[in-house]
Amino acid sequence: MTELVAAAGDAFTLANLLLIVSGVVLGIAVGAIPGLSGPMAIAIAVPLTFYMSPLAAIAFLVSVNKGGTFGGSISGILLNTPGSPEAAATTLDGHPLARRGQPVRALRTALYASVGGDLFSDIVLIIVAAPLALVALRLGPVEIGALVVVALAFVAELLARSPSRGLVAVAIGLLVATIGTDPTMAVPRLTFGMVELQGGVPLMSVGIGILALSEVLIQLERRLRRAGAPEARPVSLGRSTEDRLSRSDLRRIAPVIGRSAVIGTAVGALPGLGTTLAAFLGYSAARRASRSPESFGKGNIEGIAGAEAANSAVVGSNLIPLLALGIPGNVAAALLVGAFIIHGIIPGPWLFEEQPRLVYGLFISMIVANAINLVVAGGFLRWFALVLRMPGHLVFPGIVFLCVLGSFLNEQSVFAVAVMMLFGILGYVMRRFDFPIVAFIIGFILGPMLEHSLSQTVVLTGAALSGLLDYPIALALYVLAAFIVLRPLWRRRRSRVAR
């Protein structure tokens, strides 16, 4: 109880509350710009947290993610151009409703659904994370290594259209993670004689480059391809008395929000599934349960609520595997790992024992961030809509400047900036050839953890596969990983035989 009271005092300090407000505003503004997203905002914002306290830094970044998740719906509803991939499902009914002269009704539906789904997942996180961490503490290095292999298999198979491309992306991430000094033999490897690489590839330079800079390159390429074509103009927010969300509308979307929140929370708790899948699952569930499914795609607020509640519910639940197991569930969680490490904190089950005050403070800050998201976004909705009118020739140079500045501040070296640019190009190539960069990032983040666990496994089992028989949980997890990887190949073979 003492730790909880102290955590509440930390969460409700003026500095922490101001940072939460700033994070929400930054996330909404960045998410509203077509092509940009919450994780991209986190990648740029991480270097800004160097001089913050650990709680303030994590709370700020989580608030950025919460605001960015809703912000993507603004451009989708008003411009028919989703600010982020998960907002594509919201756009299906959001933009038609806006074109019918009810943009505020569509935006407020998205906002209430987003906050409702997010709040539900935060509550589940608070209830589930600690007991799951207690279970994880009973796992040894052999089981932890197997669990990481299962997580990587999930990511590789689920995040790519082709499982082989997912595996390649994970393998590249693991390869990059091995650069630096061997933790067992203490000798440099893959450093090519560069002293700067002996400590490994800078995490923030990789994250900023492959997420933010590569996205800028993709957006610039798209703009060059449609040069000369007229740009779409956003739907203006009028002041019609009919353009409002009524109490009957709230009663209508309440069960939809509840159903989609459960779906999104379940999806977010599994590593690698992500917000886009959750959004379309929530949208499909809303359509199947609706009394008028034929109205979907024409401006049905149930479609907006279903998609937005589901994708926002991932924001809280994706921290369940991160806090309880030390395994990031998606890009946002992977970037939060970098923020934890910057402040000397290792996420995982030990966090609940070593830093309970920080964990409780984070939980309280997340609930506060939801309330602030509702108040700020609801009160300044028209101001955030003006972000859509910002010209690209001002937005993208500013983002590149922040990428360079963030990389330099992280390592205080020009070398880190060069690494950021290199991985920006790598990210661009991976996007162009449809390799999932999320799989790469999670592979890179989990690489050291996997290597450490496997090296201990080799010692404990005597470097013999038969030694795994003494660890039935680990053996079962390895079998599950093999099943996840081989299942698509088996299905493809069956389809060929059927032909």
Per-residue pLDDT of the chain (499 residues; tens, 9 = 90+): 677 788 888 888 899 999 999 999 888 888 777 666 777 778 778 777 878 888 898 999 999 888 888 887 887 787 776 666 667 788 888 888 887 778 888 888 888 999 999 999 999 988 888 787 777 767 777 877 887 888 777 777 665 566 678 788 888 888 888 888 877 777 788 777 788 888 888 877 887 788 778 878 887 887 777 655 555 555 556 565 566 777 888 888 899 999 999 988 888 777 656 677 788 788 888 888 888 877 887 788 888 888 889 888 888 888 888 888 777 767 778 778 878 887 888 887 788 878 888 888 999 999 999 999 999 888 777 776 666 566 666 777 877 887 787 777 767 788 888 888 898 899 888 888 888 777 788 788 778 878 888 888 887 777 777 777 778 888 888 888 888 777 766 766 666 665 5
The pLDDT assigned to 466 comes to 74
The pLDDT assigned to 21 comes to 92
Q: Which helix (H) or strand (E) segment is 220 a member of?
A: helix 214-225
Q: What is the dihedral of CA 154, 159, 163, 169, to 10 degrees?
A: -90
The pLDDT assigned to 392 comes to 63
**309 CA to centre of own chain:** 15
The Cα–Cα gap between 73 and 418 comes to 34
Expressed in angstroms, the distance from the first to the final Cα of the chain is 65
The structure tokens listed for 229 are 């074509």
User: How many residues appear in the chain?
Assistant: 499
How deeply is 456 buried, as exposed, middle or buried, from its count of CB atoms within 10 A (0-12, 13-18, 19+)?
middle
The Cα–Cα gap between 170 and 153 comes to 9
For residues 67 and 26, the answer to whether their CB atoms sit within 8 Å is: yes
| Other beta carbons less than 10 A from residue 311's beta carbon | 39
The Cα–Cα gap between 442 and 444 comes to 5
The pLDDT assigned to 364 comes to 92
Which of 216, 197, 218, 199 has its CA nearest to residue 419? 197
